[in-house]
A = this chain, B = another copy of it.
Amino acid sequence: MASTTPPDVAARVEASIRRFKLTRLLSQDQAGRRITLLGTIDDLPALLLAERAAFAVDNAYLSSFPTSLSRIKNLGANDVYAWFLANRAFPSSSYPSHGEKDEGEEGEDGDAFHAPDFKLSLIHPCTPKHVAKYTPAPLRLVTETPAVYAAYIRPWIAAQRAPPALAWIANILAGTSEQDDVLHRNADPQRGFVLLPDLNWDRKSVAGLHLLVLVARSDVWSMRDLQHGDAAWLRGLSADVRRTVGELYGVDEDQVKLYVHYQPTYHHFHVHVVHVQAEAGATQAVGKAVLLESVVGMLEAVGEGRGMADVSVAYTVSEGSGIWDKVWGVLKDGGVPDVSKF
């Protein structure tokens, strides 16, 4: 990390950062951890790009991390869980006066001195189950041919739908629960749907918009059940959803992206709706997400009497998940999945 810049140049550019005068925030991305500021230095225009550094992962860093914190502020605690904001501290040798006495003191300095550096969560005492949850499970890419779908995956999905697994969806569609969350309802039994906010959306930032469409039809377990003849229904659904989102949030119809998951978390057909500007993470990644327009394109291409069940589909599966243990892990080991045990 040693600089190759001549020392006088390095000193000059380092000093110029402190003279940066803000005009305005130009952009913000990477979950808010990168910002671009437009401003001036010595009356000439300048851009300052700042991003939060990644954590170091060497043992020396990680061991001293808990004691390197200051201004730890508890936000809440429940059972074994507690969450906090915190700042980093400087070495005690450099700052002998360091301690908790600055807690809550707001001097005449700007807010950037007081903003939190870290969000922390503590689970104590934790169980092996907690440890498993936070240990990354290896993923495997599998290719589900029409034959594998028919023989093993469709029966596995049927087992996932056994009551009361989907009762919560029936309750939302029937209007008996979560009605405060329903943003829009189309009551048509065949073309109807309910629009809800996704759990991961803060319900504030329109650029981060993430909604879910639960369709009224209960005969579509996943995209695999969609037939050539459903293309028109899906085109209409897409148009309805775009128009509704436009009315609710002032988003143009071509600023909305619709996709489905395969495998989905629950097997009642539902569609994810995000703002095109929303930051794309695992939920939008190929190998998990399929654009609704792609599904429609495929349905139109496969022709009369055929559907998504006739197409090979690849996706990622976590080792240790139910579908891995019952189907994909067995196939990988050269075995035959036992449908009677699904």
| Contact A53-B276, Cβ < 8 Å, known A9-B77, A13-B122 | no
Q: How far is the CA of A302 from the CA of B306 in the complex (A)?
A: 11
**A side interface size, CB within 8 A:** 149
A189 at the B interface (CB under 8 A): no
| Contact A140-B276, Cβ < 8 Å, known A3-B73, A74-B5, A112-B64 | yes
Q: How far is the CA of A190 from the CA of B115 in the complex (A)?
A: 58
Chain B minimum-CB-distance residue to A115: B56
B residues in contact with A64, CB < 8 Å = 109-113
| Contact A140-B66, Cβ < 8 Å, known A56-B111, A287-B276, A311-B297 | no
Q: How far is the CA of A113 from the CA of B48 in the complex (A)?
A: 25
Interface string of A109-153 (1 = CB under 8 A from B): 111111111111111111100110011101111110000000000
Identical copies in the complex: 2
A300 at the B interface (CB under 8 A): yes
Residues of chain A from 265 to 281 with CB closer than 8 A to chain B in the complex? 276-277, 279-281
B residues in contact with A252, CB < 8 Å = 140
Q: How far is the CA of A44 from the CA of B120 in the complex (A)?
A: 18
A204 at the B interface (CB under 8 A): no
Q: Among B115, B118, B140, which residue has its beta carbon within 8 angstroms of that of A61? A: B115
Residues of chain A from 1 to 46 with CB closer than 8 A to chain B in the complex? 1, 3-5, 9-10, 13-14, 16-20, 22, 25-38, 41, 44-46
B residues in contact with A313, CB < 8 Å = 293-294, 297
Minimal beta-carbon separation of A290 from chain B (angstroms): 7
B residues in contact with A114, CB < 8 Å = 91
Q: How far is the CA of A228 from the CA of B10 in the complex (A)?
A: 58
B residues in contact with A111, CB < 8 Å = 56, 58, 60-61, 64
| Contact A75-B3, Cβ < 8 Å, known A65-B50, A136-B27 | yes
Which of A93-101, A164-172, A192-200 is the contact stretch?
A93-101
Minimal beta-carbon separation of A85 from chain B (angstroms): 7
B residues in contact with A101, CB < 8 Å = 94
B residues in contact with A56, CB < 8 Å = 111-112, 115
Q: Is B91's CB under 8 angstroms from A102's CB? A: yes
Residues of chain A from 50 to 97 with CB closer than 8 A to chain B in the complex? 50-69, 72-77, 82, 84-97
15 contacts between A and B (CB under 8 A): A4-B76, A5-B75, A14-B72, A20-B122, A33-B52, A47-B121, A47-B131, A60-B111, A63-B110, A64-B110, A64-B111, A88-B113, A284-B285, A297-B313, A297-B314
